Structures are given as structure tokens and as C-alpha cells.
Structure 1
Amino acid sequence: MRLFAILCFSLAVISCSQADDGPLVYQGESGPGAGRHIVFLAGDHEYRSEEALPAMARVMAKNLGFKCTVLFNVDPETGFIHPGNSNMPHTDVIETADLLVFGLRFQNFPAEQMQPIVDYLERGGPVVGTRTSTHAFKIPANSAFARFDHQYRGEEMKGGFGRQILGETWVSHYGKNHVMSTRLDIVPEQADHPILRGVKNPWVEAGGYWVDPMPGSLVLANAQPLDGMTPDSPPAKDKSPCPGVWVRTYTGKDDQSGRVFTTTYGASEDLRNDGFRRMLINGSMWAMGMEDAITGDLNVDLVGPYHPSTFRFNGFRRGVRPLDLAGWDTPIMAPSKPTK
């Protein structure tokens, strides 16, 4: 009987360790980012932020010296990454973050996971928002966090997190995915902005979003939907450019302000483009007030094998735990992992 009890306890410990084996951390050693901590929140249903954000984190850690922690939506029973399930363990690490990078969609975190995000925003921490983060949260009206919902109508935070922090909430698609890619045209008047140093020919494979950023936002690049899936595809005849990359500031609880870099792109396959990737890295550094360290020749090369999945709903790779992506040479993600 005692042996049976010991066996059951051992199995419980193993099960628990599998379900929650700690956050994924990439620890840089040297570079302009040494001593700074970036936390990435990967949790969207379609655009594979669970691939794009760890790839971005590796670049910033290995090449530039940052400490990068990547948090994922995780199945609480298996410990496997399960995008979109509104469970993101270890958000307490945000307390020491110098930058918070959002790759979320329609999340409704439990209070203990949401509160560290709220605390960070109230202190005016720097923010980067990618793709679906304009509609990062979908929260019931009776929740203490309802004001972060993407459709929140109260005047104190109209449009929720997306509108009031990033500068825009969800509006509509503006270019059909997998049929129309997007060229990001740098606004000529902003060509000397630190975020655009070294950025050449940014192009992304995701279709467009229509947006009209909050007054006070500074648009750095306009998104031109293309009639095709190559950088030299012609502009879509019925679609004029609209903002695709911008910066702004927001105000926290006690008039503390934070810098924001927002782009409506950042899907898994978008990270393959050198120009877009550099813009994303530069934007992250600018948000932290590191513009003096941004040079046109920063090393923004991808680190380790990167195998982005073709983004689609429910198209995530199964059977992957966060720590399966640890180290510089593990694949993100292994092509052998099934997507169904």
C-alpha cells in the first residue's frame, strides 16, 4: 500500500512538472541590451505568435545581449503550447520587465495572470504591439478588467487596450491573407527616425488591417496591399495605403508615460523579411529609450533554425512545450510536429 502511495505521488510530481516546467528564457551575454529584461506574450489564434515571438527573442538575446522571457498560452494539464486558450502562466515575471511585447488575441486571463500586465501598464512601461494585439483582450463586461476589452465603450478607456495603449483597436481586414501580401512604404518625412536606421524594403506576407491610429500617433510606414505574394507584386487596385507602423506614448496611473511601437504585422512568416525584422528590433529598442544604440548595422539575423508555419486558425504545432524551444539551436518549431 505504501509503495502504491509513493508511486502515485511520483506520478503526480511528474505530471505537474510536465504541465508547468517554467518560463522560456533566452539569456544574452553582451551587447547594448545587457542588463535589460524583455517579456514577450505569445498568445494569438491565427498568426503564430508562438513562433514569431521566440524567434524575435532569440535575436534580441543572442545578438544584442538582452534577457528575453517568452510566455505562452499553455494547456494546464499537458504543459503543451495551446494558442488562444487564455491561460498564460508566469506573468509575475513582468514585474522586472523593461519592455513588454504583445502578440495576443482575444485573451481573458484569470485575475492572477492579468494583474501583472495591468500593474506594468499603470507604471507606464514601454510596449510593443504586433498584429492581433490591437484586439488583444476579449473580456466580459462584469470583469474587473473589462476596460481592456477591444470593444470597451466607456469614455475612460474607449476601445480598450488596443485603442488607448497601442493606438488602435480592431477595425477590419484590408487585404486577403495568402492572396495579398503587404509592402511597407516608409513615410519620407520620417526617414531619419531612429527606428528606420538600416531598414530596407520591408515587406510582409500577412494581408493588411485597416486602421486609423489615435491622434498624436506618428506613422513611420504605410501598408500597401499587393496583388500577389511576392515583394514585386503590383499594388492592389482598389486599396490605397493606410498606416502599418507607428509610434506613440500612453499615460499610466500617475501620469507616468510609456513609449509604444505598434505594427499591424508580425505573423510567423513576416519575420523572414530582413527589413521588417530590423524595424521590429529597432522599434523595441526605441520604446526602451535606447535610440542612441540603434545603428544601421545591428545584427538582426535569425538565430537557430526557424521554420515558420503557414499561419491559419488552429494551425499551431502540437505537442510542443515552452522549454522545447530553449537554447540557440533548437528549431522554432520542429517541422515534424503535427499541425492537426
Structure 2
Amino acid sequence: MSLLRTFTCLLGLLCSTSLLADDLSMTLRYQEPTELNSDRFHQLTREESWKPQHTAIIVCDMWDLHHCRNAVLREQEFAPRLNEVLNKAREQGVTIIHAPSGCMKHYQDHPARTRAQLTPKASHIPDGITSWCYQIPAEEQGIYPVDQSDGGEDDDPQEHADWAKQLESRGLNPRAPWTRQTEALTIDPDKDFISDQGDEVWSILAAADIDNVILAGVHTNMCVLGRPFGLRQLAKNGKNVVLMRDMTDTMYNPGAWPFVSHFSGTDRIISHIEKYVCPTVTSDQIVGGESFRFAKDDRPQVVVVMAEDEYDTNQTLPEFATHYLGKDFRVSYVFGNAEERNDIPGLDLALESADAVLLSVRRRALPTNQMVALRKFIAAGKPVIGIRTACHAFSLRGQGAPDGTETWDKFDPEVFGGNYHNHHNNKLTSQVSPIATAKDHPILTGVSQDSFTQYGSLYKTSPLAEGTTVLLKGKIEEYPAEPVAWTFQRADGGQSFFTSLGHKTDFENPSFQRLLLNSVYWATGLNVPREFDLTVPTPPAKKI
């Protein structure tokens, strides 16, 4: 029997046996603009059912070694989970393609490599499929989220030097020491494929009539995106391609812009992919349980919710979070629906994994599923941070909620211990100053003890409920002072922080910036930094 006929028979056997497998139930996470030409995005999900025999997983550059020692350690940490994914997917009839670039010599006699070479060439090979793809047109609409021009190595310099010497002592090139795929991943000689060539991989997909493709491996911002078999090439050429976002890593150095943690750098790349390239999925959709998380990734998840039209917090809050929260927090954003006032798309999804929520919402009813998720989050004792209009976030001034939605008229007293009942004239400025007896409170760390001018209207909030601790007060001449910032111990056991500050001009005030920053650390149980550089880093010229 000829090798070609052997390949054809084997492929037919694989396809016929996989017909017995259950469909794959996949939850795809993606992002879409909040409105036409917007730079803000809703993070959404959709359910899809995939036939295993029409699905492939491509394992990208899971090499045995790397020039970055930390990259090797992170790969070793998630590789066992990825191997579980491959084994389970293979059992279900999914095609597994191993793509350790530059390592084909090691596998020249391996059956999985031979199988790839014997695959009939597809009748249509897309233009450019054998080349690296640095950008697709959709990405031109956004700003690339990290500076990786230094190569992205995050090793300690001395550790990196020692690692290079160790590689050299083994006769390896310290800049490109890989020779094969990590042994932590099983390659099935009877079913799998090995290839690092775009046209070969495309032909493998075509031969099995595969439209659904999952990419996993390293590194997302480089190889996984750009290789000839990577996300960009497959997306632009019509495959239903997704990134397995918890089975990947990035080459990002926290010493480069935007100066966030390595894990936040990865989050930023994943978000970029969801906006401009393709959706993402997680490993638990194949193997069950929970999605994978690196052991050192202990960042609390903060969800920033914005749905108000008066103070531009859908611009000021993302800028604030981008500049100041990326080192110690995992941050996601939820925006109001531009076409339907009483809807905050993705809120229920975001709250499922949130450790704290930062609210800037004004007079919205919520669809029942979103309100249920919010009440569940708060009843669980999770921390809530509110600014400005959040005290009347879910009240419609006593009006009934539209069909299918709910209000929460007592949100202010129940969640913030507040008593918002009006505000002073917008033309009256107030002087805001810390409460002397609260000067040692963690939220006032680094906040000037001098008074400052508030240009937004002063809210009338007194008297507050029992269980509140006032941190700032505001005063207009000839009027009583009003609480401006306070904490609240809720009846459900959770803690909240609220400030009536949050006017656009407040975000230009270092005292407010530090106050809001400190409140996030305090709410999530982290130590408030004694010092914090509020200088906004300048992004580099756009470069991928």
C-alpha cells in the first residue's frame, strides 16, 4: 500500500470514529465596539457547538528551552494542563497539530512529521500563508497595547546571564536554544501531525475539512499571533480560529511601556486579540474544572463599570486604571449600552470572576439577569467602590422600571451607607479637606492634608448611616459641611467606599487620584503603597 493511500485510509478512519463523539460546547469570548468608531468595547460571549472532526488544536512553539528563563518556567507550569487538553481533545476526535518552529530536523523520522509531509496539498493555498503576518487590517483601528521592542525578556539580569552561560555549557545557542517541543506534551504517533509550515498546516486543515481551530502555546504577542499558521493568518483567511487564553504566555518586560505586571501585559494582548483578531476560549471548556491561572498571578480582579453621560468617566476611569492599576490588579471594563439606556452588556459575566467592583453609573435600571448578578455579588460580601453618581446608580427617582428590568432604589443606603438627596448649585465651588481624626486611615495615605477646590457640584449626603467612617468633607460658604468620601461596613459583612468626587476635573487632581487608587488597594485587602508615582508614562510610537 502506498504512503499516500495509507494516509488517506488513516484520515478516513479518524474522521469516521470521531463522528461518534459528542459535539464540543464552546463559549467564545469576544469584544465589539460600544458604538460605531468607538475605542471602547463590550466584552461579550457567545455559545457555539463544534464537530470534533472539523476541529483542530495547533500547539505553537512549546519549545523545550528558551532564551528567557522565566518564559521556560511559565511554560513548564502550564504545559501539564495543556497536555490534558490535548489528550482529551484527541480522544474526542479533534486533530492535534504540533508546531515547534525551527525544530523539524529533530522530528524528520517521526510518524507525525511524515503524516504532515504526506498530506495532499490543498487545492487552494492562500497568498502569503508561508510568511509571518505582522498585522491584519482590523488591528490598524487600535493601538498596540504593549511595547515589546526590547524582546520582552523579564528575567533578572544576573539570572539571565547565568541562564545563558548554562545554555552555552550545553552546546546550545543562548539566543535560540530550542531543539524540539517540550517533553511535557504527548505527541501521538498514530494520529497527530507535526509541522511549522503555513502551507502544510493549511493543507492538513483542508484535508480533514477543518474550519474550527484553537491556537495554544507561546508567545501570544509574537509567535501565536504572527506565525504562518498563527491567529492572524487563519483569521484573515476565513477559519473560525480562537486563542485558548489560559494556555499561553507573552514575551513582555514590565520595565517597558505600559509598565504593568507581566500578567497584565498578557491580559492587554488578549484583549487586543479579542477586539481585532479573533475570540478566545479557556481550557476548562475541554477538560472541565476551572480555567488555568499561574501560581504567581495573585492579582485581584477589579471590574470597572461605567454607565453615565455627565462626567465622561467612560474615558477618565479607563485612563486611570490603565496608568495606575496594571501592576497589582487584573482589570476589566464594562460599559453602558449606547442604544439601550437600561442595559450594561457583559455585567453579569464580569461579576462572576470579580473580586471588587468600581462603579460609575447614573440612574439605570438593569435587565433582571444583570441585577441578580449584582445583588449576588454584593450579598457575598464583595467590596464595592463608588464614585459620584454611583449613589443613585440604579434609582429612577421613584419611576417604575421598564419591562424586563429592575431598579434598586435603596442601593445608596444599603451599599454605601449614604443619604444622597440632592446637590448644591453647579456654579458653587467647594473646599474639600481630610477629616483630622481619619488622617491615618489607609485610604488617605499620600493624600495631601491641605484642602483643595472641587469644581463639580457638592452632593448633599448627610446624615450618613451607622457604620460609616468619613474621610473627606466639603464646605461651601454659608452652607453646612457635607461628607465627600467615606467607608461603610455593610450589613452583609462586606466593605464599601464611596466618594462624591469624580467630576472630570477631579481626575487631574493628585489628591483625588491617590484617594481613588488607595481605595482599590484597601477594598481588595492589599497594603496601600506608601509611595506611588502618579506620573503618566508616555507610550512609544505605534509598533508591533
Which residue does 1:109 correspond to in 2?
Answer: 366
Aligned residues: 255
Give the alignment of 1:329-340 within 5 angstroms. Answer: none
TM-score (norm 1): 0.67
What displacement does 1:182 show?
2.9
What displacement does 1:171 show?
0.6
Q: Which has the higher contact order (CA 8 A, sep 6+)?
A: 1
- 1:190–1:220: 8 Å Cα contact kept in structure 2? yes
TM-score (norm 2): 0.43
CA deviations over 1:50-106 (Å, ceiling 9, x no partner): 1222122213333x3311111111235xxxxx8xx2221111111111110110111
CA deviations over 1:155-203 (Å, ceiling 9, x no partner): xxxxx111110111431112x32x3333221111111111111101454
Aligned equivalents of 2:467, 2:34: Cα separation in 1: 44
Which residue does 1:57 correspond to in 2?
Answer: 321
Q: Are 1:298 and 2:532 an aligned pair?
A: yes
Give the alignment of 1:160-239 within 5 angstroms. Answer: 160-174=410-424, 176-177=425-426, 179-200=427-448, 201=450, 202-212=452-462, 213-225=464-476, 236=477, 238-239=478-479
What displacement does 1:112 show?
2.5
CA deviations over 1:89-138 (Å, ceiling 9, x no partner): 11111111111011011111212232221221111110101111111013
> Tell me, what secondary structure is at the counterpart of 1:148?
coil
CA deviations over 1:309-333 (Å, ceiling 9, x no partner): xxxxxxxxxxxxxxxxxxx689xxx
What displacement does 1:301 show?
3.6
What displacement does 1:45 show?
2.7
CA deviations over 1:218-268 (Å, ceiling 9, x no partner): 10111123xxxxxxxxxx3x123211010011133xxxx111111011122
Q: Over the residues paired in the alignment, what is the CA RMSD in angstroms?
A: 3.1
Query: Which is higher, the Rg of structure 1 or of structure 2?
Result: 2
CA deviations over 1:26-47 (Å, ceiling 9, x no partner): 9941699952110011111312
- Evaluate the alpha carbon distance shift between residue 186 and residue 112 of structure 1 in structure 2; reply closer, same or farther with a 3 A threshold: same
AA paired with 1:38?
V
Which residue does 1:122 correspond to in 2?
Answer: 379
Q: Which of 523, 528, 543 matches 1:287?
A: 523
Aligned equivalents of 1:301, 1:214: Cα separation in 2: 37
- Between the aligned residues of both structures, percent identity stands at 23
Which residue does 1:271 correspond to in 2?
Answer: 507
Aligned equivalents of 1:33, 1:168: Cα separation in 2: 35
Q: Are 1:66 and 2:306 an aligned pair?
A: no
- 2:388–2:501: 8 Å Cα contact kept in structure 1? yes
AA paired with 2:338?
D
- Evaluate the alpha carbon distance shift between residue 109 and residue 303 of structure 1 in structure 2; reply closer, same or farther with a 3 A threshold: farther
